[in-house]
Structure 1
Amino acid sequence: MSGLELNNVVKRFGDVTVVQQMDLAIGDGEFVVLLGESGCGKSTTLRMIAGLEEVSEGHITIGGRDVTRVAPMARDIAMVFQNYALYPHMDVGTNMSFALRLAGRPKAEIDSKVAAAAKVLNIGHLLARKPKELSGGQRQRVAIGRAIVREPKVFLFDEPLSNLDAKLRGHMRAELALLHERLGKTTVYVTHDQVEAMTLASRIVIFDKGRIQQVGTPSEVFTRPASLFVAGFIGTPTMNFFKARYALEDGQRLLRGEGFAWQPPAWLAAHPPGPEQELTLGLRPQALRASPQAAQLTVKVDVVEYLGTESQIVGRMATPSGQRVAAMLPGDAHGQLHSNVHLAFDSADLHIFDSDSGRSLRP
């Protein structure tokens, strides 16, 4: 059993509370990503799990054992940092084996574990090199290998790919996914990069201002965001938002806003909002399609970003506020630049939020 639980965990620095009454249960073997903007409390949470920051209130358990006041070395965790933290005067093999040698493990056991980890990470040919002779990706593999040889109950990763270029980050994401599949260890991974979160996580924990906003699978947080914050944070390009009210006109229920009147999704009928309630509607750019015959909104295209198989267009509606709209269209849409594009969508793709609380109205 190597699950992890945070129960009513709070972290304060003086009078400032940076993590607020956090409850989180991570199952044995899960790969959970803590995702959020800089300063949201995700790295502080990871450091509390590791024992590098004291918990102001609450309890942390690993494998059913309360480790809230236990020293980092006694928590049976291994942490991989953003800056690799390798000893420059030691070769790769010595870096990987350092913790085991410090613990007084037999040489045969150390050599066996280092060789096994090096094989998994495909760095066996690098064991005699010094860190300065390695690329960024190779150094990160060594840092991960140093964690693997300890065979901990829980792996902790603190933005391990942020120092790599885009191509290498993509490669290392795949490597980490394969590594987790092989080892099956409970993993907590901190990042501000939603691509890393969506591609690696079994569940994502989305933070904002020291609070958990939503916990769910990548599919759940993308298709059913619990709040305006989550809806705007997850997804590239960013979700389109429109102000609206729920209206009854000639016996027909409509979502009416500046320059549009749309049919509500079927689920809204069970719990309709009041006519005075201010709503925010969300539409992902991927949900919009060109439809001259059945247009639900029209935008004048200001920008076209050609991405190969598709294009992102950005334009504005002909309304007093000039509502900005982004859409993903197939193929090369450069011919649409500075012209009007008529767009449609399925009402089922609408996300509806209470503007005041920011919470989703979807049951």
Structure 2
Amino acid sequence: MNDKSHTLEQEVSSMITFDNVTKVYPDQTVAIENISFEVERGTTTVFVGPSGCGKTTTMTIVNRLEEPTEGTVYYDGSDIQELDKVELRRDIGYVIQEIGLFDHMTVGENIATVPELKGWKQERIDDRIDELLALMDLPPEAYRDQYPTALSGGQQQRVGVARALAADPDVILMDEPFGALDPITRSELQDEFLEIQDRIDTTILFVTHDINEALKMGDKIAIFDVGELVQYGTPQEILANPANEFVEEFIGSDRTLKELQITHVKEIMQPAGVEHETHAAAVDGGDKVSEVTTASDVHVSPTDGADIALSRMIETDTEALQVIDDGDVVGKVTEQDIRSYRTATEEGM
């Protein structure tokens, strides 16, 4: 295959490709060695592993904050070494744990940084600021002219994400973006970001040391151990078939619970208005799903995890829960649905 055809194939199949990439520092420390994998467009790939394993180095090679010693990284089909470094960085959003907002600039001015560098007209910049603040659940009229020091940590991180999205990048790099937040705020921001992800067509590389965050946030997960890419796959693939003992230990012993956490109710529920013979007598006497009621009116949403559904069934001593989305009953989920889905998943692996 010639260089041109190889480039075209990369452009079609992936947004980012690592081809036998190695990074060795001047003191001969090997950060990563012979790393190869592809990142599909519009997906989130999470790099996870212990401290010093090479995950952040791998990510920052993409925007050339680090340069590979050997191998090639393709960005949208092009060798990154052939791209202008400054323009490349302006085209890639970047979110870090420390957030890095400019305290002397307003929220709006922070978000406008890259669009201004790219020469956008002011009217377009102003519209983009308002659009992103609304997307981040920060009403523009209340937050546009605030300074970062007046915001909570969670609000500052939302602004950091908005700034990364400001110039509508094809790729966003996120380095431990929620790591400094308290557990409740962190979980809320994870949920909000997953909702935002559904509305944007952006390829995301996300670094974390937390396997639970990786399983929750990633379409694909790259598990690193001391410069080596140990396993690359979907959360389901990794949980079902850990590559080795290191991956098993890193995942932990509660693999079944983790599987339930990453399985959304919408993947296993029975849609409203559909007759279901299986378990019908035990659950609702064969009624349509839309007619199902539960003793305590406890319900779940389509985006809740199967673990949440199972927990609520146990708490309320019921075998079925309504699935409600925006006030409408869209289906039901039963304990047997959860069991059947797990069995089918395991058999399919």
Please confirm whether the aligned pair reaches a TM-score higher than 0.5, indicating the same fold.
yes
Matched, 1:203 2:220: yes
Structure 1 contact 50–79 (Cα < 8 Å) conserved: no
Match of 2:21 in 1: 9
The one of 46, 52, 55 equivalent to 2:65 is 52
> Partner residue of 1:114?
129
The answer (yes or no) to whether the contact 1:8–1:59 under 8 Å persists in 2 is yes
**Residues 182, 209 of structure 1: alpha-carbon distance in 2 compared, 3 angstrom cutoff:** same
- In the alignment, structure 1 residue 217 sits paired with structure 2 residue 234: yes
Contact between 2:170 and 2:201, CA under 8 Å: does it hold in 1?
no
Q: Distance in 2 between matches of 1:179 and 1:166?
A: 20
Shift of 1:55: 1.1
Counterpart among 113, 117, 131 of residue 102 in structure 1:
117
**Residues 74-83 or 163-172, more deviating:** 74-83
What is the CA–CA distance in structure 1 between the aligned matches of 2:202 and 2:234, rounded to whole Å? 18
1:69, distance to aligned residue in structure 2 (A) = 5.3
Distance in 2 (alpha carbons) for counterparts of 1:60 and 1:171: 34
Residues in 1 aligned to 2:97 and 2:106: alpha-carbon distance in whole angstroms: 20
What is the distance in 2 between the residues matched to 1:285 and 1:81?
Answer: 29
Which structure has the highest helix share of the two?
2
Q: Which residue of 2 aligns with 1:136?
A: 153
Q: Is the 8 A contact 2:46 2:218 kept in 1?
A: yes
| SS in structure 1 at match of 2:111 | helix
Residue 285 of structure 1, CA deviation: 8.9
**Any conservation in 2 of the 1:4–1:61 contact (CA below 8 Å)?**
yes
1:207-243 per-position Cα deviation (integer Å, ceiling 9, x unaligned): 0011111111111111110111111101354x7xxxx
Which position in structure 2 is the counterpart of 1:23? 36
Which letter maps to 1:179? I
CA RMSD of aligned residues (A): 2.6
Give the Cα–Cα distance (whole angstroms) in 2 for the partners of residues 174 and 140 of structure 1. 14
- In structure 1, what residue type is equivalent to 2:96? F
Structure 2 contact 175–207 (Cα < 8 Å) conserved: yes
Q: CA deviation at 1:68?
A: 2.8
1:105/1:214 CA distance change after superposition, 3 Å: same
Taking structure 1 as reference, are residues 134 and 37 closer, same or farther at Cα in structure 2, changes over 3 Å only? Answer: same
Instruction: State whether structure 2 residue 81 is matched by structure 1 residue 68.
Output: yes
Q: How does 1:228-243 map to 2 (within 5 A)?
A: 228-235=245-252, 237=254
**Equivalent residue, structure 2, for 1:77:** 92
The amino acid of 1:39's aligned partner reads: G
Residues 178 and 236 of structure 1, relative CA distance in 2, 3 Å threshold: farther
CA distance in 2, matches of 1:70, 1:87: 28
> Secondary structure in 1 aligned to 2:237?
helix
- In the alignment, structure 1 segments of 5+ residues that lack a partner are 240-283, 288-307, 311-329, 332-348, 350-362
Separation in 1, partners of 2:129, 2:39: 28
Higher-strand-fraction structure: 1
Please point out which of 183, 195, 212 is paired with 1:166: 183
Name the counterpart of 1:186.
Answer: 203
Residue 122 of structure 2 aligns with an amino acid whose one-letter code is K
Give the aligned residue type for 1:57: E
**Does the C-alpha gap of structure 1 residues 177 and 309 become closer, same or farther in structure 2, counting only changes over 3 Å?**
closer
| Cα distance between partner residues in 2 of 1:110 and 1:141 | 18
Measured in 1, the distance between the counterparts of 2:162 and 2:175 equals 15
Give the match for residue 93 of structure 1: 108
Cα offsets for 1:292-318 (capped at 9, x unmatched) = xxxxxxxxxxxxxxxx999xxxxxxxx
Q: Distance in 1 between matches of 2:102 and 2:258?
A: 46
Q: Give the Å deviation of 1:73.
A: 3.0
Cα distance in 2 for partners of 1:50, 1:235 equals 33
SS at match of 2:162: helix
Q: Secondary structure at the match of 2:157?
A: helix
Q: 1:89 to 1:286 in 2, by over 3 A?
A: closer
> Residue 55 of structure 1 contacts residue 68 of structure 1 at CA under 8 Å; is this kept in 2?
no
Which amino acid is 1:31 matched to?
Answer: T
Aligned to 2:290: none
Q: Distance in 1 between matches of 2:68 and 2:258?
A: 42
CA contact (8 A) 2:154 2:185 kept: yes
Contact 1:35 1:190 in 2 (8 A): yes
Structure 2 match to 1:300:
none
Q: Using the alignment, how far apart are the partners of 2:71 and 2:155 within structure 1?
A: 38
